[in-house]
Amino acid sequence: MTQFLTGRRFAARAACSLLVLCAAAQPLTSWARVELGAPAGKADATIGCMFPMTGRAAIYGRDSIAGMKLALADLARDGTPAPTLRVLIDDTRSKASYAVRIAEDFIHRDGARFLCGMVSSGVAHAVSQTAQRNRVIMVGTDHASSRLTIEAFHKYYFRVSNDSYTSMAAGARYLAELQRKTGWKRLAFIAPDYDYGHVSWIDLRSNFERLGVKFELVGMFWPKLYEPDYSPYIDALQKAEPEIVVTALWGGDFIAFMKQAASTDFFDRTRLANFDTGANYEVMVALGDKPPKGLIVSARHHNNWPESERNRRFVNDFHEAEGRFPTYAAEGAYSGIMMIAAAIRKAGSATDTDAIVTALEGLHLQLPEDPDGFTSYIDPDTHQIVQMQAVGEVVPDDRFPPARVMVGNWTVYRAEDLSPPPALVRERRSRAAGTADYFP
């Protein structure tokens, strides 16, 4: 009589599968993981950082790691006694569920008191909720959606790079001045179809309302992230005949959009503006020596602005260490480490989280992004760093090879004009109470 499966055979199978489990049980240190700074035992505090290290956004991960190395080096060289920091960096693979998993490992297995980094706002939003649940401080260095400091704000979240609201505030002011000169009326908006794209539009519109800028919205387009073919959107944009097109496309998408638009007469009839990531060094390199006409761009950090001693030293140190010039992600990561170190020093302890939170609120720290005479500081209410922002046009400039163009004709905006008014913050936070952002 055939037994479905004789006990003996089943036992063999169960044993072999258990064997596989045990073989897999020895601790899997993820090879992709990078460790900087002091070893486990000697560090005052451990910082768990997450960046995309594979796929299209990998360049930002690489630059962030280099930025952190510079920060640790500056802390060591700096006279005043600084806390010894241990920095662990892992690959989020730009996937929220995976990043949440790494964050929990950092907290429970490595005892990290700080989380930092993250390029995509979606990933940052997921990890931010994990940070809140575990009462661990999270310092954003590269994601920009203003939702994290407004709707989904919580006590342990801080950000050390300009967010979408700040960039759009600078952009709205620039376009308001441009309207007084050229009287443009027709505006279109195109951004990637995910949280960051939609929040950028909300921030731009609320800034336009605050400044009383009247315009006719002739089109809004939402290509998906990493869209390879923008031609249908470019055709639709041309039919809408806008005078100004504001975009929140970033990195490879922004470059692809410009190159595809350049093969049409798009730039003869419209001016393209990108206030949050447009001036990134990676974009300048990709423009080669024939940039499209009329580009208006800004970014969270520029290699050639401000002309301050601190910024020049940061850029040169980076170039010496890495053999290339940094994208804006590097300065964000650098500021993150410097902020954490300053906060620990000010709070006097590396373990009392609440003391560090109060230390961070309102903390002033001179960063490469600050022009002479201004010092960045953390807004106590939104925990968003307050910095000046410079908007400019693309001009020939070969001081930073291989780029043949950089940004020039700067218009610089004071930091205080760019932060969201408290009333708007309260109003947006109350409206968020019922949605998926709201976190008990």
Partner 1 sequence: MLKLDKTEIWLVVSALVLLASAFLLPNWLTFILTLALAKALVVQGVVIQMRAGLVSFGQGLFFCIGGYSVGMGGAFLNIHDAFVLVALGVAASVGVAAILGLLMTRYRDIFFAMLSLALSMILYGLIVKNQALGSTDGFNVHDVSFLGWMPAGEDQKLVIFVLTVIVAGGIAIALNRYMKSGLGGVNEAIKENEIRVEFLGLSPRWILYANYLFAAGISAVGGAFTALATGHVDPEMAFWTTSGEFVFIALLGGTSHVAAPFIAAVLFALVRTYALELAPHSWQMILGFVLLAIIVFLPKGLWSLVAGKRRAAA
Partner 2 sequence: MTTLYAILIDGMIYASWLFMVAAGLTVIYGVMRILNMAHGSFYSIGAYTGASLVGWYFSGAQGAPYWSYALLLGAALVSGVVVGLLIEQGLLQFMYKRDEILMVIVTYALLLILEDATKLIFGVDPYFTFQPYSLLGRSEIGELTFANYDLALIAVAAVIGAACWLTLNRTHTGKVLRAVIQDREIAIAMGVNVKLMFAATFVVGTTLGAIAGALTAPAISVSPGIGVEVIVLAFAVVVVGGLGSIEGAIVGALLVGITRAAAVHLAPQIELFVIYGVMALVLAVRPQGLFGRDLARKI
Residue 255 binds partner 2 (CB under 8 A)? yes
Residue 265 binds partner 2 (CB under 8 A)? yes
Q: How far is the CB of 34 from partner 1 (least distance, A)?
A: 13
Q: How far is the CB of 231 from partner 2 (least distance, A)?
A: 6
User: Contact at 8 Å (CB) between 334 and 70?
Assistant: yes
Nearer to partner 2, 258 or 357 (CB): 258
Q: What is the crossing angle of helices 309-322 and 58-77, to 10°?
A: 120
Residue position matching structure tokens 């976190």: 439
Q: What is the CA radius of gyration of the chain?
A: 23
**Residues within the interface to partner 1 (CB under 8 A):** 1-5, 7, 9-14, 16-18, 20-21, 24-25, 27-28, 30-32, 53-54, 91, 93, 95-97, 100-101, 104-105, 108-109, 120-123, 125-126, 129-130, 133-134, 193-195, 198, 224-225, 435-436, 438-440
Among 10, 55, 349, 439, binds partner 2 (CB under 8 A): 55
Q: How far is the CB of 197 from partner 2 (least distance, A)?
A: 13
Nearer to partner 1, 4 or 77 (CB): 4
Residue 95 binds partner 2 (CB under 8 A)? no
Q: Is 172 exposed, middle or buried (0-12, 13-18, 19+ CB in 10 A)?
A: buried
| Per-position b or e across 119-146, b if 16+ CB within 10 A of its CB | bbbbbbbbbbbbbbebebbbbbbbbbbb
Residue position matching structure tokens 């005043």: 80
Q: How far is the CB of 108 from partner 1 (least distance, A)?
A: 5
Residue 231 binds partner 2 (CB under 8 A)? yes
Q: How far is the CB of 62 from partner 2 (least distance, A)?
A: 12
Q: Hey, which residues between 283 and 302 contact partner 2 (CB under 8 A)? A: 286
Sign of torsion over alpha carbons 380, 381, 385, 388: negative
| Interacting residues toward partner 2 by CB under 8 A | 54-56, 58, 221-222, 224, 226, 228-229, 231-233, 235-236, 238-239, 252, 255-256, 259-260, 262-265, 286
